[in-house]
């Protein structure tokens, strides 16, 4: 398969690029950090979004190597921004195979040292699907990352199963409310109630809440009323290449 062949070659050909989407504090509009989102500049095909190649990379066993590149690139960028006086956290997405890979912890520890990263500034987002195979094992790996000081979030929260059952046992710092909830809070009161309930529960458990896919001021206002902590979405910015992200981060506000 062409796609498979090209994907295998893409890492050495340096065809991957990280885009950055800002996250904004609900309280004062301050930028709390960015999420790194991978793109593939595939020659003759243009920019390929992750949905089109991450699942393939997982199947082909390439995701660990690709994910290592993402983590290192994020650390490198954080150090570069820090050297320009911009202290921003960067969140990377982890596939389940990365979380369970035996070398992850050493690798992350090494990168944090090599780039002089404050560990809490490196955020990692995992989905509930990591709990499917062996929940105890997943919890063990999450705890090891927490022990390094890395900040952990449950991504796409509310779309997997067992969310509530596992939430209190997971050594994580935040949940990211899935975009599908946010889309409906302004039009569907029951969806809004559900959101408010999840936010209150998360806070009771000592977890921060990030709302994903915030696109309108109405959604922002509703979420502010629910005491959501952080917003991410097109209302603030789409994911940007590093130059645009740097400009966005350094703009006075």
Which residues contribute to the site for ligand G (CB under 6 A)? Answer: 21, 37-38, 49-51, 54, 67, 70, 92-93, 95, 125, 155-156, 179, 212-215, 233-234, 239
Q: Could you say which of ligand G, Na ion, Mn ion, none residue 239 binds, taking C-beta under 5 to 8 angstroms by partner kind?
A: ligand G
What are the strands, taking DSSP E only, across 169-238? 174-177, 208-211, 230-231
By C-beta, is 129 or 171 nearer to ligand G? 129
Closest CA to 247 of 34, 71, 74, 46: 34
- Helix, strand, or coil here: 43? coil
Is 192 within 8 Å of 185 (Cβ atoms)? yes
Tokens 């050297």 belong to residue: 83
Which residues in the 101-160 window bind Mn ion by CB under 5 A?
125, 155
Q: Which two tokens stand for residue 184?
A: 């409906």
Among 32, 73, 77, 93, binds Mn ion (CB under 5 A): 93
The yes or no reply on residue 98 touching Mn ion (CB under 5 A) is no
First to last CA, the chain: 49
> C-beta of 215: minimal distance to ligand G in Å?
5
The yes or no reply on residue 6 touching Mn ion (CB under 5 A) is no
Q: Candidates 20-28, 76-84, 89-97, 158-166 — which segment interacts with Mn ion by CB under 5 A?
A: 89-97
> C-beta of 92: minimal distance to Na ion in Å?
13
> C-beta of 39: minimal distance to ligand G in Å?
7
> C-beta of 128: minimal distance to Na ion in Å?
11
- Helix, strand, or coil here: 196? helix
C-alpha atoms less than 13 angstroms from C-alpha of 69 in its C-beta half-sphere: 17
Name every residue whose Cβ is closer than 8 Å to that of residue 54 and which is 6 or more positions away in sequence: 38, 63, 95
By C-beta, is 66 or 199 nearer to ligand G? 66
Give the footprint of Mn ion on this chain (CB under 5 A).
93, 125, 155
């Amino acid at each position: 398969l062409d796609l498979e062949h090209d994907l295998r070659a893409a890492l050495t050909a340096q065809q991957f690029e990280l885009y950055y989407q800002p996250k904004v504090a609900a309280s004062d509009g301050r930028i709390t950090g960015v999420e790194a989102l991978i793109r593939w500049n595939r020659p003759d095909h243009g920019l390929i979004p992750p949905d089109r190649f991450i699942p393939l990379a997982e199947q082909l066993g390439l995701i660990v190597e690709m994910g290592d590149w993402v983590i290192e690139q994020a650390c490198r960028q954080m150090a570069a921004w820090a050297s320009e006086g911009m202290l921003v956290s960067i969140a990377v997405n982890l596939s389940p195979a990365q979380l369970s890979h035996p070398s992850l912890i050493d690798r992350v520890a090494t990168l944090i040292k090599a780039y002089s990263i404050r560990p809490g500034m490196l955020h990692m987002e995992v989905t509930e699907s990591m709990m499917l195979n062996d929940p105890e094992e997943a919890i063990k790996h999450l705890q090891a990352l927490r022990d390094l000081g890395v900040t952990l979030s449950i991504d796409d929260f509310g779309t997997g199963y067992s969310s509530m059952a596992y939430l209190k046992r997971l050594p994580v710092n935040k949940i990211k409310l899935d975009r599908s909830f946010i889309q409906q809070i302004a039009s569907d009161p029951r969806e809004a109630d559900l959101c408010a309930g999840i936010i209150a529960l998360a806070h009771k458990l000592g977890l921060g809440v990030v709302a994903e896919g915030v696109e309108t001021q109405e959604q922002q206002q509703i979420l502010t009323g629910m005491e959501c902590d952080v917003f991410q979405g097109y209302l603030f910015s789409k994911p940007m290449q590093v130059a645009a992200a740097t400009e966005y981060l350094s703009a006075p506000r």
